[in-house]
Structure 1
Amino acid sequence: MIELLFLIKLAVAITFVIGLSFLAENVSPKVAGILSGYPTGSAITLFFFGLEVSPEYAAKSAVFNMIGLTAALTFVYVYYLASKYFKKYTILWSSVTAILAYFLVVAVLNQIELPKYIAIFIPISFSFLSIYLFKNIPNIGIQTKAKVNFKILFVRAFFAALIILLITTVPKFVGPSLAGLFSAFPTTLFPLMIIIHFTYSKEHVHTIIKNVPIGMFSLIIYSLTISIVYPLYGIYLGTLISFGTATLYLLVYSKIKRYLDNRSHLK
């Protein structure tokens, strides 16, 4: 059973991170940034919390996952600032400072107990704040794609798998509140940022970062739905329902965005 779970986690990690990196390269970093906020890493983590511990444990963790998204948004903001101002070893220092900022916020949030209806307003407020802070970042596309070989694919897959496997071991050592906060760690986004930063430039990473808060709303909706449906319907049907609500948000957002863009072009 343990070996099977390991293979599942590894396969899912490879699929998500490599898929998003190809999306950034072949469509745009903007689209990859929006979809990186889609419930991928957190969905994996919460699902395995429910599978390995209990649906009730995962549901409670999902509430703290919503709160923990403030730490994830802090992570991308600090990475953005650090990558702007560090001239040497930019990827290393951006990663270190972003991770430290994430765990600092998690440590503070772990001391706070909030009911669900209040918890949901914290990440929503931070998402809107992040959209404002990132509003002047230009959307830059990748003009010349790097050649991807087996070695590059292996490194991308291994790095993503390592992060996800580390985070999904948390519930064995801590309670559901701290585990939920850890589950908000950008397990898919962080490897994507490293891959694009290393392969291309910090400006391309900034484009991803700019669009993360937009996609983050789908993750907020996902975690809220998980907290409600896991105890009622179990982890399998509950996961499908939660993905449905998160997907619905993205479809509605894209339709409204397209409508507003068309109106602006007509003026």
Structure 2
Amino acid sequence: MDVPLSWQLAKLVISIGIVLGLSLVAERVSARMAGMLAGYPLGTAIALYFIGLEISPAFATESAVHTLAGFSATLALSGGYLLGARRDGLPGVLSATALGILAWLLTSLVLTSIDFTRITGTLTTFVAILIFVRLYRRVPDVAVGARRSLSWPALVLRSGLAAGIIFVITGLAHVLPPAWAGVMAAFPVTMYPFLVILHLTHGRATVAAVIKHYPAGLGSLLCYALCISLTYDSLGLNMGTFIGFGVATLWLVGWMRVQVWLRARSVALA
């Protein structure tokens, strides 16, 4: 199927806007909040929506079932990136990227060989979230620091990475089975460029703080993908996306309230 130019431009504009928004949150609010929002269904929503638009809602529905388990590969990527981010600057980004992509690929190869259902896919990522939350518990939180003005090279890098990943995922979905399309839709389309930018501009300590809070935000992604797998084929892309974002937002707001309550309780008991 030939993809209309208007659809391609929409992918570009949406991808750029989301990555820039995440960067502004990290600079003006906190790395913790940016990490939580990086787990919000942004890149995954773009990928699954355009897969459904360009191929069919039924294909996107089947892919979303595998996306549920595919978030485990995303967690593996974040862990690999964290382990590889031993230095600041471009050398640190390259080593972190290499280890992160390797971890994602190896995990994806295992996941695509398994015939997941909605239940088993969700449980797989839920267990992975618990494991990574525990692994990251000693990673320190840091402030982002003084805000820096956006340079043209930074804008080009953000735009190119996010849009390029979206185009690769939706393009490969035309020739790959739903299992691989679903796992690729779980790739951190907006988070990875965001980590690269933070790594280059604020250093590995800030990147580590964002990654620390990323697993907690994946709950909203699970809610979104689960809703998509139930609604795209029956209610259509637009209504399914609307419901998915609604459920994901409710989960994220609820989780943040729980976090506030836990911190207040910890202070009260101290």
Q: Shorter-chain TM-score: what band?
A: over 0.9
**For residues 149 and 127 of structure 1, what CA distance do their matches in structure 2 show?**
35
Structure 1 SS opposite 2:27: helix
Moved more, 201-210 or 104-113: 104-113
C-alpha contact 2:89 2:199 (8 A) present in aligned 1: no
2:172 to 170, 173, 178: 170
Q: CA deviation at 1:179?
A: 0.7
**Which of residues 108, 111, 116 in structure 1 aligns to 2:110?**
108
Structural mapping, 1:77-116, within 5 Å: 77-84=79-86, 89-116=91-118
Map of 1:6-17 to 2, 5 A cutoff? 6-17=8-19
Asked whether the 8 Å contact 2:90–2:200 carries over to 1, the reply is no
1:148 offset after TM fit, Å?
1.6
- Structure-2 residue corresponding to 1:245: 247
How many angstroms apart in 2 are the aligned matches of 1:256 and 1:97?
33
Q: Give the aligned residue type for 1:17.
A: V
Q: Which residue of 2 aligns with 1:140?
A: 142
1: CA distance between counterparts of 2:163 and 2:176?
21
1:44-82 deviations in Å (ceiling 9; x for gaps): 010011111111111110010011111000000011111
Partner SS for 1:187: coil
Deviates more, 1:113-122 or 1:59-68: 113-122
1:39 corresponding residue in structure 2: 41
Cα separation, partners in 2 of 1:15 and 1:60, compared to 1, 3 Å: same
Which residue pairs with 1:258 in the alignment?
A: 260
Deviation at 1:177, TM superposition (A): 1.1
User: Runs of 4 or more off by more than 3 Å in structure 1?
Assistant: 84-88
| Unaligned segments of structure 1, at least 5 residues | none
Structure 1 residue 85: deviation in Å? 7.6
Q: Distance in 1 between matches of 2:201 and 2:56?
A: 40
Partner of 2:61: 59
Letter in 2 for 1:16: I
In structure 1, what is the Cα distance between the partners aligned to 2:88 and 2:203?
13
Q: Size of the alignment, in residue pairs?
A: 267
Match of 2:226 among 205, 224, 248: 224
- Check conservation: 1:24, 1:32, Cα contact below 8 A: yes
TM, length-normalised to structure 2: 0.95
**Alignment deviations for residues 121-155 of structure 1 (CA, whole Å, 9 cap, x no partner):** 00000011110000001110112222223443233
Q: Is the 8 A contact 1:86 1:93 kept in 2?
A: no
Is contact 2:65-2:116 (8 Å) kept?
no
1:21 aligned residue:
23
One of 180, 186, 198 as aligned partner of 2:200: 198
- Could you tell me which runs of 5 or more consecutive residues in structure 2 were left unpaired when the two chains were aligned: none
What TM-score does the superposition give when structure 1 sets the normalisation length? 0.96
